[in-house]
């Protein structure tokens, strides 16, 4: 069943006196348990697409449905709730809060969603192999470790979809592969739906579907 459906999505950014057409008539469908890879040149609109799909950005026209529900016309507070409860994010630069410990970073995401699920947090620290580093601050951890914490944070509210924008872009090859192996495990073992943006074509082998985005349009989808 489609967990995410997009029809004729268009997105423009205004820059000075120019109206730039960033995403052009994007139509796509993601099924539960898919590991979708989005690849394309710098500036082709990959991050913008991820932000639009996850309602971090508004769209200009088109339709996005999550679990069959059209999410275009929701109020701001319903959109925030939807994001907190159903969508998880990881980014290239981890985006951890520097003056909170690893544990507190994950806890914060849980508290924001109105929970304080200690058992779940402990389980996630074990899953990402970071149980011994709960009390470390982000600047005491390597990039790969910080990304593991960011993954735990993204999963703390049991999202339906995990969005990952170049999650290995700032890591060496070995650490990058470890993160990809972790994502693969989540996808296979938990049937977690993942939408990954990457520059690394080698990583498309982890994906069951790939989308090639060039200048805001899909080319040769597999
Ligand atoms: N907030 C914004 N305001 C105006 N233009 C923007 C904004 N964000 C992105 N753009 C423009 O939209 C286009 C697509 O940017 P986007 O960041 O989505 O590309 P990308 O494929 O993720 O690139 P990269 O691989 O470098 O991360 C670019 O031309 C960019 O300059
Ligand atoms: Mg980008």
Q: Is residue 77 part of a domain?
A: yes
Assign 3-class secondary structure to the chain. Answer: CEEEEEEEEEEEEEECCEEEEEEEEEEEEEECCCEEEEECCCCCCHHHHHHHHCCCCCCCEEEEEECCEECCCCCHHHHHHHHHHHEEEEECCCCCCCCCCHHHHHHHHHHHCCCCCHHHHHHHHHHCCCHHHCCCCHHHCCHHHHHHHHHHHHHCCCCCEEEEECCCCCCCHHHHHHHHHHHHHHHHHHCCEEEEECCCHHHHHHCCEEEEEECCEEECCC
Atom 5, ligand 1: residue with shortest CA distance: 13
Atom 18, ligand 1: residue with shortest CA distance: 45
The total number of structural domains in the chain stands at 1
What pLDDT shows up at residue 74?
85
Q: Which ligand is nearest to the CA of 44?
A: 1
Residue 167: CATH number of its domain:
3.40.50.300
Regions of the chain with pLDDT less than 50 = none
Q: Is residue 19 part of a domain?
A: yes
Atom 27, ligand 1: residue with shortest CA distance: 42
Q: Is residue 123 part of a domain?
A: no
Q: Is residue 208 part of a domain?
A: yes
For residue 15, give the ligand 1 atom closest to its CA.
Answer: 4
Provide the residue range defining the domain that includes 84.
2-95+159-219
Q: Is residue 51 part of a domain?
A: yes
116 Cα–ligand 2 center, Å: 32
For residue 49, give the ligand 1 atom closest to its CA.
Answer: 18
- For a mutational test of ligand 1's pocket, the pick from 9, 10, 13, i.e. the residue with the most ligand atoms closer than 8 A to its C-beta, is 13
What pLDDT shows up at residue 221?
62
Q: Is residue 203 part of a domain?
A: yes
Q: Is residue 140 part of a domain?
A: no
Q: Which residues line ligand 1 (CB under 6 A)?
A: 13, 15, 22, 40, 42-48
Q: Give the pLDDT confidence of 116-155 residue by residue, as tens digits.
A: 889 999 999 999 999 999 999 999 999 999 999 999 999 9
Which residue in the block uniquely carries the two structure tokens 């339709």? 63
Cα–Cα distance for residue pair 111/83, rounded to 1 Å: 14
Q: Is residue 142 part of a domain?
A: no
């Amino acid at each position: 069943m489609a967990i995410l459906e997009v029809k004729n999505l268009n997105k423009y950014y205004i820059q000075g006196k120019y109206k730039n057409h960033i995403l052009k008539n994007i139509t796509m469908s993601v099924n539960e348990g898919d590991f979708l890879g989005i690849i394309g040149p710098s500036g082709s609109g990959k991050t913008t697409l991820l932000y639009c799909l996850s309602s971090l950005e508004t769209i200009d026209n088109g339709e996005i449905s999550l679990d069959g529900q059209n999410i275009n016309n929701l109020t701001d507070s319903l959109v925030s709730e939807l994001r907190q409860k159903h969508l998880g994010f990881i980014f290239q630069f981890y985006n951890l809060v520097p003056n909170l410990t690893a544990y507190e970073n994950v806890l914060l995401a849980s508290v924001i969603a109105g929970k304080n699920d200690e058992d779940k947090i402990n389980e996630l620290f074990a899953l990402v192999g970071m149980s011994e580093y709960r009390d470390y601050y982000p600047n005491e951890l390597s990039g790969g470790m910080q990304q593991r914490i960011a993954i735990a944070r993204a999963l703390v509210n049991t999202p339906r979809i995990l969005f990952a924008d170049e999650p290995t872009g700032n890591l060496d090859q070995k650490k990058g592969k470890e993160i990809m192996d972790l994502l693969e495990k989540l996808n296979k073992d938990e049937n977690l739906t993942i939408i990954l943006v990457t520059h690394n074509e080698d990583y498309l082998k982890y994906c069951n579907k790939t989308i090639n985005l060039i200048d805001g349009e899909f080319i040769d989808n597999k």
